[in-house]
Structure formats: C-alpha cells, structure tokens
C-alpha cells in the first residue's frame, strides 16, 4: 500500500473526545461516585441533561433529555449541577497534552479536538502509537479517559472516535474506508438531520453505502447543490485542514479620557458602556467569556489590571458589567481620590456559546437578561450601532 494514496490520504488526523466529560470530572473529584449513575445538568424545573455517566446511560439517560424524564428513568442516580469552571480547568489540562504532540490542535469544544499529527508520525512510529500515547498521557496526567479516532481525514477520524466509546481507540485503514462507512446510517453524515433523513429514506437510502452508490441526479432533488459534497463524504473523502484556533483570543474596549476622571458615577457609566460593546461583540460571534478583566491607568502612567473568572461562561451585558464593576469598586476603595487616565474592560477565556437551544443549567444569566440583550441587539442591528443602550449609559454626560 502507500503508492496509490493521494497526498491528503497520507495525513494523520486524530480526533479525541473525552468520555462522559462533565460526569467523569465529577467522579474524579468525588471518588464515591466512580462507577455510579451520575447525571450532570440543570436541576431546575426546566433543566436539561448535559451529560450522564455510562452507568446512567444504561438506564436510557442521555444528553439534552429533560431532567424530569431522566429522574423517572433513573431515580437512584446522583444529580449534579454543572461546575463549568472546573470542567474548563480539566479541559485546559487536556489541551496542554494535545499541544505536546502537535501545534496543530483544533478545539471543537471543551472535551473534543482534532490534531494533525502528520509531522509527528516519525517521532512516534505509527498513528496507532500516537493514539495510545495520547490516551495514556490523558489518563496519567488528568485521571480521565478519552476515546480516540485515527484516520487520514477529519470526517473519518471523528466517526472513528465515537464507535468504541468509552476508552476507545479506532484506526481507519485507508483501504478499508468503504467497509467502515457503508453500514453506517446516513445520520452520521454531518448536516443530514431530522429534516433530510426522512426524504432520503423515502428514496430507500438508509446507509452511507446506499448514498454512495446512488446517482447524483437522484440525490439532487433532496440534497441540492450539496449532493456532491455528501457523496464525497460517503466515499470517505474530506480535504478540510485542521485549523488551530488561537487560545488567547480576547475582546476588549478601553478609552483614554480627554481629562483625567475621578468621579465614580461617570467611571461606572463608562464601564457599563464598555460592557455593552464587549458583550455585543461576543453575542455577534456566538461566544461566551469566562473571565472579565478591568484595566486602570493613573495620570502617572501606572497601569493595573484586575481579573476574575465568572462562575460560568457568559455574554450577557449585565453579567459582564456586574463583574467589571465589582473589580473596579474593589480597586476604587483604596484609591478613592486617584484620577483615572485610562479605563478599559475586556474578556478572555472565549468559547463557543453553542446552539443555545437547550438549558444545561450552567448559565449565570437570567432569562430576562438574555431577552433584554436580544432586544437590544436586534434594535442596534436595525438602526446601526449604539442607538439603544442600558439606562446607566444614557445618564452619562456627553464629553
Ligand atoms: N454537553 C452539554 N449539552 C449537550 C451535550 C453535551 O452540555 N447537549 C456537555 C456535557 C458533556 C460535554 O458537553 O460532558 C461533552 O459532550 P459530548 O457530546 O462529548 O458528551 P460526553 O463527553 O459527556 O460523552 P461521550 O462519552 O459520549 O463523549
Ligand atoms: Mg465527550
């Protein structure tokens, strides 16, 4: 083998996905939970399951299920509210391990990433060896288990990591791609969901193999101009690169005042305006921030920053403002007479806000805060930037 492989078939892509991530972290922190049914999610009346340990999955409990249903299926499980800060810590540990293997790490969520290890192959011998090493390092350094898929592209690697969970290691041989893909249901193709699957089913197409063998002209009425794309996937062809995202992304806003400012109300109004701007940019990019930073410079050019993590990721104006204000007030207490030359606030620890279509109970922001943000965003979008801002901002005197 080898000679007839194209360049893209010579890549080595690893997909790592942690097993029952939130639940496993809970078991790690409370050893009495090990092996027990554990359900993590919103505990309120409208709560949803974020994840369940494998022992709980035996009772039929799974992610995105209403919590009430989970409780009926498995009354004896331990029900735990998400501790996002802790999961983020463990996630950072896992990602540090990834970066020991390659700089080409593309995080998809806290517990999942693609690694392009093509260049590290020589060092580790074989893809399978890299996979084993990654799993072992994760277990050793974090106490958690992961499932790993290895293939020559992202699509196959991701499918591979999923089929022998938990603690799996699956390698897709480039010559066995059809044998691997053909029996799988079409729902495994990214983008084929509840709406498209029944239409394909009506054509007698249930498996990836059937889709692979169906003529494009038959697929077009259902899949439109994506038909070729899906057929390439069904053939195991996927040329997308692993795209590393910069881990240190941040969004901030700061101003240098024309004349140094010492009045607390005016400083707070400025901070509120900055929180509006920063959170609006977060929401526009569907991001959540985990840490708020405030920056203060005095007339002598002495600059301090103060930062604190939120209990859970947020992109709500009020949540970010409250934290920024708390940081500012703490500094202000001991610097009541200090005039300020520059004031800024920003956020770091950015991550995908997700689809937002379920409540996993890990959000700090009240529903009404979120609603207000949405109304403000849509009005600002329609009428241009900053036409409408929260009350306190309006009170600020125009310079
Ligand atoms: N998650 C969530 N809501 C969902 C799905 C997931 O809050 N609807 C959270 C909890 C999970 C984490 O994201 O622990 C990772 O998601 P996965 O889909 O990878 O699920 P798990 O890691 O929990 O389990 P698996 O072993 O199937 O990967
Ligand atoms: Mg997982």
- pLDDT value, residue 380: 57
pLDDT cut 70: percent of the chain above it: 87
For the chain, the straight-line distance linking the first and the last C-alpha, in angstroms and rounded, comes to: 72
Average pLDDT for the chain: 87
Instruction: List, by residue range, all CATH 1.10.150.20 domains of the chain.
Output: 179-234
Spell out which residues have Cβ within 5 A of ligand 2, the ion: 17-18, 21, 111
Is the Cβ–Cβ distance between 94 and 134 less than 8 Å?
A: no
- pLDDT value, residue 365: 64
If one residue of 51, 146, 359 were mutated to test the ligand 1 pocket, choosing by the most ligand atoms within 8 A of its CB, it would be 51
What is the torsional sign of CA 158, 160, 163, 166? negative
CATH 3.40.50.300 fits 21-84, yes or no: no
The count of other CB atoms within 10 Å of the CB of residue 107 is 18
Instruction: List, by residue range, all CATH 3.30.1490.100 domains of the chain.
Output: 250-395
- 197 burial (CB, 10 Å; 0-12 / 13-18 / 19+) is middle
Cβ of residue 63 lying under 6 Å from some atom of ligand 1: yes
Query: For 144-153, how does the pLDDT look when each residue is reduced to its tens digit (9 = 90+)?
Result: 999 999 999 9
Domain 250-395's class? alpha beta
At 45, the pLDDT band (50, 70, 90 cuts) reads confident
Is the Cβ–Cβ distance between 181 and 212 less than 8 Å?
A: yes
Closest-lying ligand 1 atom to the alpha carbon of residue 41? 7
If one residue of 27, 38, 111 were mutated to test the ligand 1 pocket, choosing by the most ligand atoms within 8 A of its CB, it would be 111
pLDDT above 90: residue 259: no
Please state whether the predicted TM-score (pTM) of the whole model is above 0.85. Answer: no
DSSP structure class, residue 102 = -
Q: Which CATH number fits domain 179-234: 1.10.150.20, 1.10.1740.10, 3.40.190.10, 2.60.120.10?
A: 1.10.150.20
Residue 179 CA to residue 15 CA, distance in Å, equals 20
Closest-lying ligand 1 atom to the alpha carbon of residue 23? 14
- pLDDT value, residue 231: 93
- pLDDT value, residue 396: 40
Query: For 268-286, how does the pLDDT look when each residue is reduced to its tens digit (9 = 90+)?
Result: 999 999 999 899 888 877 7
Given 112, 133, 270, 276, the catalytic residue: 112
Query: For 82-121, how does the pLDDT look when each residue is reduced to its tens digit (9 = 90+)?
Result: 998 899 899 999 999 999 999 999 888 889 999 999 998 8
- pLDDT value, residue 20: 98
Residue 301 CA to residue 314 CA, distance in Å, equals 31
Tell the residue nearest (CA) to atom 26 of ligand 1: 19
Cβ of residue 165 lying under 6 Å from some atom of ligand 1: yes
Query: For 189-203, how does the pLDDT look when each residue is reduced to its tens digit (9 = 90+)?
Result: 987 888 899 999 999
Is the Cβ–Cβ distance between 153 and 105 less than 8 Å?
A: no
Closest-lying ligand 1 atom to the alpha carbon of residue 166? 26
Half-sphere exposure of 68 (CA within 13 A, CB side): 3
Listed in sequence order, the residues at least 6 apart from 396 whose beta carbon sits closer than 8 Å to its beta carbon are 266, 269, 270, 273
pLDDT above 50: residue 360: no
Considering only residues 228 and 388, tell me which one the structure prediction assigns the higher pLDDT.
Answer: 228
Residue 356 CA to residue 360 CA, distance in Å, equals 9
pLDDT above 50: residue 2: no
């Amino acid at each position: 083998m080898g000679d007839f492989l194209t360049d893209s078939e010579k890549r080595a892509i690893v997909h790592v996905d942690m097993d029952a991530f939130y639940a496993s972290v809970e078991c790690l922190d409370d050893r009495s939970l090990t092996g027990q049914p554990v359900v993590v999610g919103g505990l309120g009346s409208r709560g949803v399951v974020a994840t369940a340990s494998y022992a709980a999955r035996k009772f039929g409990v799974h992610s995105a299920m209403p919590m009430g249903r989970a409780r009926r299926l498995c009354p004896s499980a331990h029900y735990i509210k998400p501790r996002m800060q802790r999961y983020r810590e463990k996630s950072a540990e896992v990602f540090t391990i990834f970066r020991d293997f390659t700089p080409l790490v593309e995080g998809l969520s806290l517990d999942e990433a693609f690694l392009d290890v093509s260049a590290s192959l020589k060092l580790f011998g074989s893809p399978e060896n890299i996979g084993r090493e990654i799993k072992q390092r994760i277990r050793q350094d974090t106490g958690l288990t992961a499932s790993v898929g290895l293939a020559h592209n992202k699509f196959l690697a991701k499918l591979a990591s999923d089929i022998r969970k938990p603690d799996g290691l699956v390698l897709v041989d480039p010559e066995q791609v059809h044998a691997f893909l053909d029996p799988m249901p079409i729902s495994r193709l990214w983008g084929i969901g509840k709406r498209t699957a029944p239409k394909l089913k009506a054509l007698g197409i249930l498996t990836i193999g059937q889709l692979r063998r169906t003529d494009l002209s038959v697929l077009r009425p259902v899949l439109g101009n994506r038909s070729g794309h899906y057929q390439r996937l069904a053939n195991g062809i996927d040329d997308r690169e692993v795209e590393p995202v910069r881990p240190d992304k941040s969004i901030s806003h700061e101003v240098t005042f024309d004349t140094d400012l010492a009045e607390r109300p005016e400083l707070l109004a400025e901070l509120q305006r900055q929180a509006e701007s920063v959170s609006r940019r977060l929401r526009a990019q569907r991001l959540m921030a985990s840490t708020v930073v405030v920056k203060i410079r005095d007339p002598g050019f002495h600059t301090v920053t103060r930062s604190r993590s939120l209990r859970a990721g947020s992109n709500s104006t009020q949540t970010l403002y409250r934290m920024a204000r708390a940081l500012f007030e703490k500094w202000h207490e001991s610097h009541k007479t200090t005039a300020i030359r520059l004031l800024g606030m920003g956020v770091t620890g950015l991550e995908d806000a997700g689809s937002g279509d379920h409540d996993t109970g890990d959000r700090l922001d009240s529903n009404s805060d979120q609603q207000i943000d949405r109304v403000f965003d849509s009005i600002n979008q329609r009428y241009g930037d900053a036409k409408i801002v929260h009350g306190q901002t309006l009170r600020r005197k125009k310079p």
